[in-house]
With several copies, the nearest count.
Chain A
């Protein structure tokens, strides 16, 4: 069997060999394996690597390194941002604003907070997947503590206008949390410049290791800890710092170049879309003018998505969001932009990455075209609802 074509880079990415090198240098007895919290020389050397990584990450997202705390990933960072910010407020009335297209780690955290008496407002996006800054402005009340919105949507790749939303939050004295798991390193992110208060980052979406992420916490933003322990990061996150994971994340952020890589991916993505569009009966989801370079979300009319996915089992892609791949229920994001369950069901997400070549895109298009034709023939004169 020919090797699998990997087009699921929005779910996770292969680790860059240069990142692997940085990681393995912190593992064995020959390397910097010591506990960065230890006072002795090896510990101090490990700590230096941790601080170098912090600096590299801060530089990439324009944030002061000392305000970046490491977590086990963006999932934990999102949990810490929402629960930490809301639980730090003892006020009677507490209000949280988020959207219907967030990652589960945000929506589930919001639901948990609702159980603690927090009032939660879920903003809708338009048919293009865009959440209007005005809807944020309109939703803010005197009780609003935090607004949480993602920068790039993991299913349809739409880029939300977090800079404008940050201005609004600032002017109303409300904190803004941005989930940048899909944007950091892929498109420009200017935390200090835009005045963002909290930002979730992860390494494995930009060719870094899984299981490491970070939360940027602007000075003077109080958070209640989620994970208590000795010598907590920024006073809120305990636990031994995993030097190799952190060094790997640092290297990944150092290597990620939105300008260069973004342009290359956007070109491949456009090639992919134009080629798929030529097959007919396909529609692209999410605002094309405001989409991240590595995600293309397409609905294929007249075929069952599960069948298309199965027919393309020599290609790694995902139906709806990969994070929810094993759960068959239709994507909440696709519903939010108005797709019927049937159409959501026949929608695939293509994720491009650093190791995606033009030839891969061409082979992908060829395979999709072939199976699409076969399955549409199979469906014969199926009624119109099968294609709408």
Chain B
């Protein structure tokens, strides 16, 4: 299996992999999995206000999945929480050179992000953010 340098770099040093050291307010978690695709991913999104300040993730999956998670985590930081619903899977797949047969795994990553978004909405922090902004 050949991996693009884009994938290898992120797979080898996924700066945002892991969890936050301490429980912080304004932090939500969202996960998704697909056993048949051998992937499980959980994001930790710290968005206390109108911006996503930091993202962490835990992941069980192939190098493409790890790289994609790192990629989106990086992309999310500094964006508005609504970005959680706006990730362009196909653009990422293209940029990373992820083979189409692996798109399914990236879609699980998208699911995990959406789970984070719903969690934010549920505990109202998004609204707060809007107001605060």
Within the complex, are A and B direct neighbours (CB within 8 Å)?
Answer: yes
Is A128 an interface position by the 8 A CB rule? no
Stretch in A70-78, A292-300, A304-312, A352-360 with 4+ CB within 8 Å of B = A304-312
Bound-complex Cα distance A342 to B34 (A)? 11
Bound-complex Cα distance A302 to B60 (A)? 8
Closest chain-B Cβ to A298's Cβ sits at a distance in Å of 18
On whether the beta carbons of B1 and A377 are closer than 8 Å, the reply is no
Q: For chain B residues 17-68, which have a beta carbon within 8 Å of chain A?
A: 17-19, 33, 35-36, 38-40, 42, 58-63, 65-66
On whether the beta carbons of A307 and B63 are closer than 8 Å, the reply is yes
On whether the beta carbons of A382 and B1 are closer than 8 Å, the reply is no
Q: Which residues of the partner chain B approach A302 to less than 8 Å between Cβ atoms? A: 60
Given contacts A307-B63, A378-B58, A383-B33, contact A342 B38 (CB under 8 A): yes
Q: Which residues of the partner chain B approach A378 to less than 8 Å between Cβ atoms? A: 14, 17, 58-60, 66
How many residues of chain A have a CB within 8 Å of chain B? 23
On whether the beta carbons of B1 and A379 are closer than 8 Å, the reply is no
Q: Give the nearest-CB partner of B31 in chain A.
A: A383
A/B pair count, beta carbons within 8 Å? 62
Closest chain-B Cβ to A158's Cβ sits at a distance in Å of 26
On whether the beta carbons of A307 and B61 are closer than 8 Å, the reply is yes
Residues 295-329 of chain A, each 1 if its beta carbon lies under 8 Å from chain B, else 0: 00000001110110111000000000000001000
Chain B interface residues toward A at CB < 8 A = 1-3, 8, 11-12, 14, 17-19, 33, 35-36, 38-40, 42, 58-63, 65-66
17 examples of A-B residue contacts, CB within 8 angstroms: A303-B60, A306-B62, A307-B63, A310-B8, A310-B63, A311-B11, A326-B1, A342-B38, A378-B17, A378-B60, A378-B66, A380-B59, A381-B58, A382-B58, A382-B60, A385-B35, A386-B40
